[in-house]
Amino acid sequence: MESGKGETNTLFECEGMQKRKKLLDNLGGLPESAVEVKNSEWLYMLEEETRNSLAIEGYFASEKELRAIISGKHTGAEILDYYRTAGSIYDLALQYLREDQMVFDVPLVRHIHSELFREGRDSERGNFRKGKIIIKGAKVHPPEADVEQYVRCLVEIVRSLRGKTRAISFLASFHVLFESIHPFADGNGRAGRILMNYLAISLGLPPFVIKGLSPADRDEYYDALEKGDTGFHEVFPPPDADKLLSSLETGNFSGLEKMFCRGSIHSLNRVIAAMAGRTEGLLTLADLAKEIGVQPATLRKWIERDKMVAVMKNGKLYSNKRLVF
């Protein structure tokens, strides 16, 4: 168990992330629980994450189909399990954040996998695989034995890097290492993305979406993973934290970091707007321009130049005066 105190703004140096994190903190930070923004952005982001994360795995659902599954009108075990698991785990992360604690351990990893197959047919829920596994289309060769020991090394690495490495670099490194170890017989991508967002929340960031609805999105993601896991293509190192870190450091994480930064900025914008809107409401650009005495075109330039946060709703941009940097 570790404290989240002492983290500096240098953790959030990523294409506008630092100033957004500061703005979010000024608005009170992330909500104490997901319920606080239940009627605004949090659940929408969870729905989008569910659709995209499952699409990466080959399970596709439209927004309408997703909501029908969530409401119980249609069946879809993989989708329902992901939605429920992510929602529960992120709320847990928010509760730990509220208490200024960070918990990351082997039982958490097992629990997430178990919950991802609650409605499914996997008899190995929460159990680490035994024996060799081949990741179709990937160059990485996961370890054949000692999987639990590798996960324990992963836990050690997470605890050592969190708060000492830039947030996006930390999350990318974690994701590559988890997926390279591939600790379960199935569901590794889903479990890894939920764990990654759990860690993002522990840093005071909202969960973000890795896009996967289009072939181009999926290709970008898989290509970025492959460039990041080059240290594990030939021989997988033994289950030793230092040796795993050495192999990890040979990878190129620029592609993943670019994706993660883009997704995080998008989520930050939505949560910032939702938190500001709770107290002061959001205005269309036309109404906001009148309130602060500028032209709507000026506000659009501020948005383009990353000097103001705005969100799109029903085809219109909304913001308020607190969202100007």
Residue 174 belongs to a domain with what CATH number? Answer: 1.10.3290.10
Higher-pLDDT residue of 1 and 238 is: 238
Can you give the pLDDT at residue 224?
97
- Domain-located, residue 50: yes
Whether 21 and 46 share a structural domain = yes
Specify the pTM. Answer: 0.92
For residue 115, is pLDDT > 80? Answer: yes
Higher-pLDDT residue of 71 and 107 is: 107
Whether 121 and 267 share a structural domain = yes
Whether 25 and 49 share a structural domain = yes
- Domain-located, residue 3: no
- Domain-located, residue 169: yes
Residue 247 has, within 13 A of its CA and on its CB side, a CA count of 25
Contact 299, 319 (CB under 8 A): yes
Q: How many CB atoms lie within 10 A of CB 209?
A: 23
- Give the confidence band of 4 by pLDDT, cuts at 50, 70, 90: very low
Whether 201 and 126 share a structural domain = yes
Host domain of residue 206: 9-274
Contact partners, residue 150, CB within 8 Å, separation at least 6: 143, 181, 183, 239, 244
What phi, psi does 181 have (nearest 5°)? -65, -40
How many Å apart are CA 127 and CA 123, to the nearest integer? 9
Out of 118-132, 209-223, 308-322, which region has the weakest mean confidence (pLDDT)?
A: 118-132
How many Å apart are CA 128 and CA 110, to the nearest integer? 8
Whether 207 and 304 share a structural domain = no
- Domain-located, residue 257: yes
Whether 235 and 312 share a structural domain = no
Q: Coil, strand, or helix at residue 134? A: coil
Number of domains in the chain: 2
Whether 163 and 32 share a structural domain = yes
